Amino acid sequence: MKLSLVFPPILGLLFLSCLASATNSHQNTFIHCLVNHSQPSHPITSSIFTPNNSSFSSVLNDYVRNLRFNTSTTRKPYLIITALHVSHIQASIICAKQHNLQMKIRSGGHDYEGVSYVAEVPFFILDMFNLRSIQVDVENETAWVQTGAQLGELYYRINEKSKVHGFPAGVCPTVGVGGHLSGGGYGNMMRKYGLSVDNIIDAQIIDVNGRLLDRKSMGEDLFWAIKGGGGASFGVVLSYKIKLVKVPKIVTVFQIRKTLDQNASDIVYNWQHVAPTIDNDLFIRLIIDVVNVTQNATNNGAKTIRATFISLFLGDSKTLVSLMNEKFPQLGLKESDCIETSWLQSVLFWTNIDITTPVEILLNRKPQSLVNYLKRKSDYVKEPISSKGLEGIWKKMIELEDAILYFNPYGGKMAEISSTDTPFPHRAGNLWKVQYQANWNKAGKDVADHYIGLTRKLHRYMTPFVSKNPREAFFNYKDLDLGINHNGKNSYAEGRVYGVEYFKDNFDRLVEIKTKVDPDNFFRNEQSIPTLPHRKN
């Protein structure tokens, strides 16, 4: 027994001695602190990666999902801690406070602005990818899922235990559970079951004092805050207990594309009246992009608008076609357009993976498509857009050419849940959410400025058609154009600018909770929840 207690610290000292010649004394001191505060039964040394480690770059880059934040000039972390045990998280918090280092918490790396893995000040990454256990309890229709797991893994493990259960979260299988759930992530069952956060019933979090808390011990205020207010402002969320939802054995999916000469304008006009009000079992996403007109003698190189309707229906194709013929005949859906499949395989369809692919592909933690440079923005629409308004949007998009719009319909369960039930406030009164996209695959500041500029120009053009006072935005579509918090003496004023757009009136409650649980603002980033101004930041 004595050997088991003494041996890990010896390993830690050997580890330190190997690093001594390659790292500066401050780094060694920080690592020494980590080793001293980790449990002998769970040594932290194998979880620490410094820039001198041959695996450092691969560990850093494996979960970078936006190449804008992986350039030669991007500030790199001081080190990366790939936590294997809760004690590693506790040691990271304690030592970061002692050494005044900023800690960035990463689960899947899908933060659109790279906030989980870049900073303008010296920082380190607490990477959660090793903490990804999933325990499904079909009898009680619940599951515990650690925040380092990805959505594809969660869906696969649920399906392993039950073919008639699922979870209403995102359609991208490599998105990390931690950021997705804590920020109010949504999916194509939200009109039926609400958001992911509407189906969380417990959680585990490590607070600023290193305590491991569950819902009972953290209290209802903090539990409320980490269900849509962004967990990284309040602590390190280790796991969530979620409520599983019922799905039929057979669901139906379809994708239909229409261009302007195929009556896309009229179909889109009708979509906005139908999609938020139709049966809650049906979700119809609309994607608008610019494509080439079919080449011919008179239209060589001309551009047009393409509208893509992609859908999930919790039922069979015959029922779906009957419903669509009654409510949305303009689309002209036929049974031959539909694919009947399982709920799990529908995830493949929505991710543009061949639906016949073995579902084990959902366990692959690397994205199936190439990681690109990207920019995202968001908006909310509360009133239908006139035909003339749509025509103006088409004209602007053709002018910009490479900007894309995603429209995600609300209504259903989303309109039934109070705007204060969780920090996510965008409920009744919203017809759909807009996502602005630009994607590119060439490096360089000029190229990036061009594509980022496209999203800003389209966002500006859309001003008359979207919410006002405030102009609402979705927290999980992180957008630093809305404001950046430098976490200094003006932290509250800076935070309020973007905070009200993301959280509306819920921002004030989030600030009060933040001030109570993290008064010195240890858990901070470029768009975190600030403390009240009379408290020290």
Distance CA 465, CA 458 (A): 12
Active site residues: 477
Backbone angles phi, psi at 213, to 5 degrees: -120, 145
Instruction: Please name which of 145, 119, 121 lies closest in space to residue 134, comparing C-alpha atoms.
Output: 145
* Sole residue written with tokens 């995830």: 347
Sheet strands side by side (includes 236-243): 134-137, 142-146, 236-243, 200-206, 212-214
- Please, is 358 exposed, middle or buried when counting C-beta atoms within 10 Å of its C-beta (0-12, 13-18, 19+)? exposed
The C-alpha atoms of residue 523 and residue 510 are separated, in whole angstroms, by 14
Sole residue written with tokens 């035909």 = 387
Residue 32's nearest CA partner among 100, 102, 99 is 99
Q: Which of 112, 111, 190 is nearest to 427 (CA)?
A: 190
Q: Where are the alpha helices (DSSP H) in 147-263?
A: 151-161, 177-182, 190-193, 215-218, 220-225
Residue of 214, 132, 124, 120 lying closest to 174 (CA atoms): 132
109, amino acid identity: G
10 vs 16: CA distance, rounded Å: 10
Assign 375 to helix, strand or coil: strand
What is the C-alpha to C-alpha distance for residues 197 and 418, in angstroms, rounded to an integer?
13
Strands (DSSP E) along 25-155, which ranges? 48-49, 80-82, 102-106, 123-127, 134-137, 142-146
